[in-house]
Amino acid sequence: MTIHLAAPLPAVDRLQTAKDLETTADILDDVGLHKNGGLYDTAQYDTHHIGRSKCRQDIHGAIRTAIIGTPTYTDDRRMLARIDATETALADHLRYDRAELADWFDVRQRQTRQVVKALREAAAGQRGDDA
C-alpha cells in the first residue's frame, strides 16, 4: 500500500498576510465576536436572516471571511495557504501554539478591541513596522 502525502501549501508573501490580518481586524471590528463554537453566530444568522459574513464571527471565521469572503471551509490550496499563514502569524505574535488560538480568543473576558489590536499588531509585524 502506498501512502500519498499532500504537497506542501504554496508560499504566502508576508505583505499578503499583513493585509489578511488587517482585513480580519476590520471584519471583527464591524461584526463583533462570536465565542465558544462555530465560525459564526448561527442563532444571529437564523434569527435576523443576514448573510453569514455579516454575523458575529470567531477568529477562524473572520480569517476565512477576510480571505474567502464568507466564514466557511475551503479546499482551495491558495486560500488554505493564506489561512494558514494568517493564523500562524497571529499565533506567533501572541506567543500561542496555533492549535490553541481559539482558546486565546474564547477567554470569557476577551473583548473585540483586544482581538482587533492583536490582529493589527501582528499585521505590523508582518510588514516589519514593529522593528
Residue at grid coordinates 493589527 = 120
The answer for residues whose C-beta is within 8 angstroms of residue 37's C-beta and 6 or more apart is 58
* Domain ranges (residues) in the chain: 14-126
**Interatomic CA distance for residues 39 and 55, integer angstroms:** 10
The percentage of the chain sitting over the pLDDT mark of 90, rounded to a whole number, equals: 66
Tell if the pTM clears 0.75, that is, is over it. Answer: yes
Map residue 4 onto helix, strand or coil: coil
**Interatomic CA distance for residues 11 and 25, integer angstroms:** 22
**Interatomic CA distance for residues 65 and 57, integer angstroms:** 9
Angle between helices 112-127 and 14-31 (to 10 degrees): 170
- For 23-65, write each residue's pLDDT tens digit: 999 999 999 999 878 899 989 988 888 889 999 999 999 999 9
Q: Which residue has the higher pLDDT, 92 or 106?
A: 92
pLDDT recorded at residue 108:
84
Length of the chain (residues): 131
